[in-house]
Every structure is written in C-alpha cells, then in structure tokens.
Amino acid sequence: MNNNKLIRLLEKLDRREMTRFLEFVQSPYFNKHQDVIQLTTYLSQIYPDFSDKKCNRETIFRHLYPTLPHDQSKLAVIFTYTLRLAEKFLLMEQAPKEGFFENKSLFLKALRERNLLFLLKFSLGEIADKVNIDTGKNTSDSLGNDLEDSRFYEEQYRLSAEEDAIAMQLGQHESEFLMKKQQWLDAFYLSEKLKDGCEMLQRSVLLKKTFEEDALLKKAVEAVHQFPERYDRFVPVAVYARVYKLLESRNPEQYSPVSDFIRQRIQLLPAPALQNIYNYLQNFCIQQINLGIRRFLRELFELYRFQLEQDLLIVEGHLPEWHFKNIVTTGLRLDEHAWVRSFLENYRSSLRPEVEENAYSYNLAAYFYHLEKHDEVLRLLLQVEYTDVRYNLDAKSLLLRTYYDLNEEEALHSLTESFKQYLKRNKSLSEFQKKGYFNLLMFTRKAFRLKISRDFTNQKKWQRDFLKLKEKFTGTEAVFNRSWLEGKLEALEA
C-alpha cells in the first residue's frame, strides 16, 4: 500500500498541511462523500506512520466498513476520489502563493461575463489609472508586489485584455486598451524569452552542448537593442537582453557595463530575478578565470560580497554550503585572510544546521592551510567525520596537500591508498569524478617522490623524470586541484 499514489502524496505533507487537507475534505463545498471523509480522517490519525501494517488494504477496508466483506474495487474508488481531492487541495494551497486570489483580471472577467460591471467601485478610466505604462510599474497594492518581473507583466497583459473587453461591451471602441495589451504582452514574452535564452547559453557551457538555433530569440535580442527607448523601460527585458549579449559574446570588456547597468536598477527587480541574474554573472567570471584572466577573480569576489550585503545568496533562510565554500576559496586566492576569517565566523550560523559543522570545519581548515598552519589543518580534518561525499572528497584532497607540504611520506602513501579504495567503492561518483581524483593521486605521488629524492638522485635522471612527469601532466585534462599541482611542479623546477 505504500506505493499507493495517495499515500505517497500525503507522506510529503507536514502536520499542518495534513490537518488542512482533512478540513478541506470535510468541507461540503468541496466534498460530500462520507466514505472519503472517513478515509481521510483515518489517514490523518495515523499520520505520519503510513506503514504497511496500518495502511494495507484489509486494515483500511475493515476500518471503513467493519460489517462488510472485503471489496477491493469499492476501496479503489474511494482512494481515487480522495486522490482527486488531494490534487485539488494542492492547487488551493499553491494559489495564494501565486497571487491567484489577488488576480484583478480574473475578477473583472467574472464581473464582465455575468454583466455585473455596476458592482465596480471605480470607472473603467480608474481601472486604467492603476497601471502606468510609461514606467512599466504597478501603482496599486493589488498585486502585493510593485517590483518588476514577467509575472507582473503577464498580469498587466491579462488586465489590459479585460479592460479592452469591458470597453467593447460598453460600446467604447477606442484602441487604447488594445495597444496597452500588446505592450504588456511584448514585455511578458520578451522577459521570459530572454531569461530562457540566458539559461540556454549557460547550460550549453555547463553541458558542453549546442542547442538548436532559435530564430525568434535572435529577433528578440535584436529588437530590444534596436529600440531601447521602447523596451528599456521594462527592466527585466533590458537586463536579460544585456546579460544574453554578454554570455553570447564572452567578451570580458562587456562585463563592467552590464554589471553597472544591473546595479543601477537593483531596486526595481525582485530577489528571485536578481539571484538568477547574478548567478549568470558569477559563471561568466568563473569562465574568464579559467581562461587565465586573473582580474575576474577580484570581480567574482566583489560579486559575492555584494550579494551577501543584499541577502541575495540566502535560500529558504540559509546560506547554501557551496556558496559558503566558493566564497572562502575565492577570498583565499586573493589573500583576503582577515575578511575570510570574519566571514567564517559571521556566516557560520547562516548554514543549515545539518551541514554547519562539516562546512565550517573544512573551510576553516582551508583557511589555515593557506596560512601554512598545518597543525591546525590536521587537527580540524582528523577530528571531524565528513558524512557528505563532496566534503569527504575535499577534506581528503586538502589532507593530501598538507602531507605533501609536510613531507609526511608514510602518511601520504597511506592516504592515497585509502583514497583510492574510497573512490572505487563509492558508486555515487561519476566516472569523470573518479578519473579526476585518481589523476590527482597519481601526479601527487610522483611529484612527491621527485621532491624527496632530489638531493640523492642522479640529477640528469631526476631532470628526465621531471620533464616526463610535467609533459604527462600537461597532456592530461581530468586532474582535480590542478592549479595546486601546477604550483608544486613550478616549485620543483625552480
């Protein structure tokens, strides 16, 4: 019974939602079927224990129909009705979050279709005054949000469509509302089209995949840039068009103008849109860093700091641990030691409680490694058990680098062997990940042998072995911690 769709759906509800669902089912407006009420009441009573013992067909049937012989078809019908109600319940729960009940255009449509326009407390002209097309902003509180996004534009498009339909119904055949409808439709379409275009460009880089060329997307980008006086007033449209051009061209010279343009309009964009946009800028900076343009390391660092100031990195009340790690890594590469230490202490409590210890300990160890305080690194890495696979891998890699620096031959050898076994046993890792870490272990051990044997090995042989290692390293693509290994090879060559 645990594979039943209704049970699986109810398992995902919290206690408050389960109680609200029972109230929903008990409402005669939504349901008049008493057997459905009985089933939902029973499931609410046993929630969250939907075990086979309590949810097998025979147990539930006896609870609903204690005097009747078991009839699976009868039970199946009740479950089907209840599942349909559960689906409607989820829609009703989601509707307020989407602004459904504050949707003025739906209200106007309901009045118009019932010929109840006399109930409006304002004239058609006053409805039109609620929206100022010249600024692209809502001047009323009816939507509960005067920041611009595609949903706002969609609502204005639907509102203008109703205004036009009402005007026609009242015998007013002017084209004002029809033109407004087209302008809001353009704003909605372009903001969505350009946003998706930016996402496609980013995924093409991450997935190393080229998407089919979109002729309409190209036309949309051209239109926005060709007619700035018409489209720049719609802030998301203007921003996404510029971000798209930046991502498409990959031109580092375009970065600052686009970044400045966004910052000047930050108060006009809702947080979800800004988080999306700044994610694109972060990835652009990372691509430039990977191309060897070091100034973008500072740009990335400033992006992170700005987002921290604006609370744009907070997701569901917490700072994601991978933002936490990337910020520390970027700051350390810029030698922003004091800032990084302050960040570690100030934002530790912003992490999700279940990851706080791992994230804080690992990143503090990385901080001490950068300061060459190896004893502190070992203390932190050896005392904490990293349950998360990614942190486990990062911790082992950092420990490997620490043993290398300390010339701990036996410890390094032992770690590489146990690391190899961990990689072989872990089925959650991709082949690319395993290859990257195996290569890190191989090159680290070979570099370490060269390091400790330099003073008592024939120098010509040592030099041949070094050049052979360097050549092989240069020709191998999948190597994790590559920049660290490059630094160690440069130190051996010096």
Q: Is the pLDDT of residue 356 over 80?
A: yes
User: CA–CA separation, 465 vs 471, rounded Å?
Assistant: 10
432-448 confidence digits (pLDDT tens): 999 999 999 999 999 99
- Cα-trace Rg, the chain: 31
**What pLDDT does 377 receive?**
96
Distance of CA 16 to the CA centre of its chain: 27
Distance between CA atoms of 393 and 187, rounded to whole angstroms? 46
Core vs surface per residue 311-333: b (16+ CB within 10 A) or e: ebbbeeebbbbebbbbbbbbbbb
pLDDT in tens, 463-480: 999 999 999 999 998 999
Predicted confidence at residue 120, as pLDDT, reads 63
Q: Does residue 172 register a pLDDT over 80?
A: no
Assigned token pair, 234: 């719609």
- State pLDDT tens for residues 50-94: 998 999 999 999 999 999 999 999 999 999 999 999 999 999 999
Whether omega for the bond prior to residue 272 falls within 30 degrees of 0, making it cis, is no
Q: Residue 145: is its pLDDT beyond 60?
A: no
Q: Which residues contact 378 (CB under 8 A, 6 or more apart)?
A: 399, 402
pLDDT bracket for residue 2 (50, 70, 90):
low
Per residue in 365-392, pLDDT tens? 999 999 999 999 999 998 777 778 888 9
d(CA 65, CA 59): 10
Question: Do 315 and 355 touch, CB atoms closer than 8 A?
Answer: no
Residue with tokens 């307020």: 96
Q: Looking at the chain, how many residues does it have? A: 494
pLDDT at 147: 66
Helix boundaries (H) for 250-314: 255-263, 271-290, 295-309
